């Protein structure tokens, strides 16, 4: 059984890109996006639950989020969780609905967010490079076991490198688009 599995390497590299997209979706850009509240967890019924399991989040206007809490007793904990999530949002209590106006971003905050996007991007690139290293190690192991000849190993190494380069290019594209969205509005 060869240790080298190209499909597994592709899956893991794509996982790093998907993770980056999820991280970037949580960054506030001045426009209302329901994914902005994805990292918020609420303490209800004696447990911490994701916000989307106790309320419906929608974006009725470009600069407003609406959180429709299903159980009236959870409005207070949901409001508290949103305030303490560090997103810079102040919920307006409207009975069972919380309205969240999205404030304008200051230039300083935009730069901080762009820097954070760069850090997320670098983290994803490190993950991809680690997957590449694992793939290269697996190829060397297989060559030692006699599964591949030296020429086959080199051909597979080229494939792994091409896959790595393509994935890093994807990361750069996703990251650049988010930074542009953050800085230009």
pLDDT digits (tens, 9 = 90+) for 72-91: 888 888 888 888 877 777 88
Express as a percent the part of the chain with pLDDT over 70: 96
Predicted pLDDT at 124: 93
Predicted pLDDT at 57: 86
Predicted pLDDT at 45: 81
pLDDT-based confidence at 1, cuts 50/70/90? low
Is 134:15 a contact under the CB 8 Å cutoff? no
Look at the pTM and tell me if it is higher than 0.75: no
Q: What is the pLDDT of residues 32-47, one digit of tens each?
A: 777 777 778 888 888 8
pLDDT-based confidence at 109, cuts 50/70/90? confident
Average pLDDT, integer, range 164-178: 92
Is 171:125 a contact under the CB 8 Å cutoff? yes
Residues linked to residue 41 through DSSP beta bridges, in sequence order: 50
Average pLDDT, integer, range 20-32: 75
Predicted pLDDT at 28: 65
| Cα–Cα distance measured from residue 176 to residue 64, given in angstroms and rounded to the nearest whole number | 25
pLDDT-based confidence at 185, cuts 50/70/90? low
Higher pLDDT, 24 or 130: 130
Bridge pairing between strands 47-50 and 41-44 = antiparallel
């Amino acid at each position: 059984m060869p240790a080298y599995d190209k499909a597994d390497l592709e899956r893991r590299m794509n996982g790093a890109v998907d993770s980056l997209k999820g991280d970037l979706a949580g960054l506030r850009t001045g426009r209302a996006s329901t994914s902005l509240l994805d990292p918020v967890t609420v303490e209800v019924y004696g447990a911490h639950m994701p916000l989307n399991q106790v309320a419906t989040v929608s974006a009725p206007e470009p600069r407003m989020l609406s959180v429709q809490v299903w159980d009236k007793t959870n409005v207070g904990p949901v409001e508290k969780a949103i305030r303490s999530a560090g997103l810079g949002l102040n919920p307006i209590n409207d009975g069972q609905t919380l309205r969240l106006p999205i404030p304008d971003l200051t230039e300083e905050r935009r730069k901080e967010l762009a820097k954070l996007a760069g850090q997320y991007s670098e983290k994803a690139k490190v993950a991809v490079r680690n997957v590449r290293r694992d793939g290269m190690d697996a190829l060397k192991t297989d060559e030692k076991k006699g599964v591949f000849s030296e020429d086959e190993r080199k051909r597979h190494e080229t494939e792994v490198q091409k896959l790595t380069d393509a994935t890093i290019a994807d990361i750069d594209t996703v990251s650049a688009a988010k930074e542009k969205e953050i800085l230009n509005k």
